[in-house]
Structure 1
């Protein structure tokens, strides 16, 4: 027996593509983003896994490798859409402290304009959140209401700060009024979903919303006796 190494003793590298760092996460994101577009275009109920796979450019088996069902994909699609929606509103410049009711009104107008601009580029965003996801089942409808609650809490904190600074009436129930603020923008949201939110319509809603809020929140001016 010699000390020579034979071909059989050599460990050869396995054939196939080398693993790519982060490939699994990128593939999941690719599938979720494709499902986002297909669900919004066709409706959740009418969409099949095959439709999602075709849009993503992968096989059905690849989709099932990352998600157990279409319903699980919808969970991730909702998170994706909600994250984008909140990202439009919760930016550093829009979350900075507010020192007057006029500034609060201007901030709401800025948010409305950013939402309108976002919806021009991504018209399916609100449709996915408010229509397809909320109609899927009670669990997702509850998550949609949770998103509304999250936004209402953020608005309530601004109003509470306004009460402390003296530009919101002390008797205002901030927890309730914050939901009213969201309700005020819903007609504009409906137009956005229908694709009829023109600049003129957007300006009209913004003007009306600001006027209603000013009347509801403004601290009455005191007159000298």
Structure 2
């Protein structure tokens, strides 16, 4: 029985999403320069032409992956967390445990953290001379929680963006371990909290 237009559209959407998910993992492991569309297609288990049916070029695919990373679940959750009427200490604890749980359970989240960090590190400093990570929404939202905690006295003193950089730098390190090593030792939430909180155990 022939498929309906709605079923065909759903299948196309599913294939595009699959290509994006697998590409995210592949770009995170190999970088942009080290990614060949032929190898990516082979890894996904599809024909190379299938990728070009959805994306005009490797650059177009990478741009879509970047958009996926920039608007990912971690950023949405952090936006929500930053707005919650909670003490900063509770926000830091929730953020730390969520990041580590996702790193442990979700290779795509680890790939997203790695690729997002690599993209930021490759960008040129802004007009203000600040590095690209300090202009990212992820860092800005984390810095907002840091500033709240500094006002409340629960977060270490210092430049909020540098502290956000330190927090996400540790997350990046463990995301790399998640992607590239077997049997790695994961830190616990209390270890990650120590990057920001005063007197954390």
Quick check: TM above 0.5? Answer: yes
CA spacing shift, 1:138–1:188, aligned 2, 3 Å = closer
CA spacing shift, 1:183–1:21, aligned 2, 3 Å = closer
CA contact (8 A) 2:38 2:48 kept: yes
Correspondence for 1:188 among 170, 175, 180? 170
Q: Deviations over 1:191-217 (max 9, x none)?
A: 3134266235x523413520189xxxx
CA shift, 1:182, in A, is 0.8
CA shift, 1:111, in A, is 0.0
Are 1:108 and 2:96 matched, yes or no?
no
Are 1:39 and 2:21 matched, yes or no?
no
Question: Which has the higher relative contact order, 1 or 2, with Cα contacts under 8 A spaced 6 or more apart?
Answer: 2
CA shift, 1:177, in A, is 4.0
Q: TM-score, normalized by length of structure 1?
A: 0.63
CA spacing shift, 1:188–1:79, aligned 2, 3 Å = same
Counterpart of 1:90 in structure 2 is 79
CA contact (8 A) 2:88 2:146 kept: no
Highest CA radius of gyration, 1 or 2?
A: 1
CA contact (8 A) 2:91 2:145 kept: no
Q: TM-score, normalized by length of structure 2?
A: 0.69
In structure 2, how many angstroms separate the alpha carbons of the residues matched to 1:76 and 1:16? 31
Q: Could you list the runs of 5+ residues in structure 2 that have no partner in the other structure?
A: 178-183
The list of structure 1 runs, each at least 4 consecutive aligned residues, that deviate by more than 6 angstroms after superposition, is: 159-163
Correspondence for 1:206 among 176, 193, 197? 193
Counterpart of 1:76 in structure 2 is 64
